[in-house]
Amino acid sequence: MTKLKQSRINKPTTKTKNKNKKRLYSIDKLISVLVIIGAVFVSAFGSDEFHIAMVSTVFLIICVNLFDIFRHLSHKTRWIWFTFLVIGAFVACVIWELNWQSKIPQPVERPDISLRIVGPKSIAIVVINESDVLIRDARYSLSVWNLDSDRAASLPILDRTADWMRPDDYILPEEFASSPQIAPLIKYGDRLLGIADVSCPDCIRTKSYWVYAIHGQGGWFAESPVGKYPNPSMVARLIPQIRENPKNFLRDIPQSARVPITYYP
């Protein structure tokens, strides 16, 4: 009799089991809710890897909980509802993912502008929009020294501004050597050393070029590497030495970087 009573005392009742199940069920739901809240937070502020992992976790939790909710239904009904709800959960996760991706800032193409020296007989300047976006307030200039003249200063500087340029557009060749201000100051065979640059407020970077030409015969131009832009003031001070041996002054510009001056198509 004592053993029977002892066994009844130690053996959990059905009511106790149900309470324990409800307690575990509540804890399980609480954990699920916390995981979903954490997933939303990490997806909003975390990296891409965390975002993908959390979306997958939320989808799995939703599936498990839906299955648990409909387990009391008949086998056939349960699987029909479960299938529909899983599909719905999947669609909801996809919509969430697409909405998250739409909020990611897309890279914006910045304007890219360049310059070419054309006209082997008489140099001119062409400005080109190399990008697929509109360029506003483009500015370009060309400073040239006549190495076969007693003139200490540079020739009159060409300095222009273009209000705007369409994508892949260009400014028609603008004459320099044959312009009324320059033509009287140079003659056939004169050696011309120049610095050209082009930029705009939103452009990727300023581009600068060395220019060397023999008037009436031809020459070349070369884009300067980033951070190694020509200094017009320094060049102006060195003009007496450059006149004696311009090739030595330009020796650091590789032949591969020198673009022959040709006629613009």
The answer to whether residues 55 and 39 touch, using CB atoms and an 8 Å cutoff, is yes
Half-sphere exposure (Cβ direction) of 173: Cα atoms closer than 13 Å: 18
Task: Render the burial of 108-119: b for 16+ CB within 10 Å, e for the rest.
Answer: eeebbbbbbbbb
Q: Which residue has the tokens 């029909």?
A: 80
Mean pLDDT in residue range 49-59: 62
The answer to whether residues 255 and 109 touch, using CB atoms and an 8 Å cutoff, is no
Give the pLDDT band (50/70/90) at residue 109. confident
Give the pLDDT band (50/70/90) at residue 154. very high
Mean pLDDT in residue range 83-98: 68
The answer to whether residues 143 and 115 touch, using CB atoms and an 8 Å cutoff, is no
Is it the case that residue 102 has pLDDT exceeding 60?
Answer: yes
Mean pLDDT in residue range 227-238: 89
**3-state secondary structure (DSSP) of residue 258:** coil
Amino acid at 244: E
Q: Give the per-residue pLDDT at 54.
A: 62
Q: Give the per-residue pLDDT at 229.
A: 86
Q: Give the per-residue pLDDT at 62.
A: 64
Task: Render the burial of 153-177: b for 16+ CB within 10 Å, e for the rest.
Answer: ebbeebeeebeebeeeebbebebbb
193 token code pair: 């050393």
The answer to whether residues 22 and 30 touch, using CB atoms and an 8 Å cutoff, is no
In the chain, % of residues over pLDDT 70:
62
- What is the tens place of the pLDDT at every residue in 182-229? 999 999 999 999 999 999 999 999 999 999 999 999 999 999 998 888
172 token code pair: 């028609």
Is it the case that residue 69 has pLDDT exceeding 90?
Answer: no
**3-state secondary structure (DSSP) of residue 246:** helix
Q: Give the per-residue pLDDT at 204.
A: 92
CA-closest candidate to residue 166, choices 204, 116, 127: 127
Please state the pTM of the whole predicted model: 0.63
Q: Give the per-residue pLDDT at 81.
A: 62
Q: Give the per-residue pLDDT at 251.
A: 93
d(CA 119, CA 122): 5
Neighbours of 204 (CB within 10 A): 14
Half-sphere exposure (Cβ direction) of 81: Cα atoms closer than 13 Å: 14
60 token code pair: 């799995």
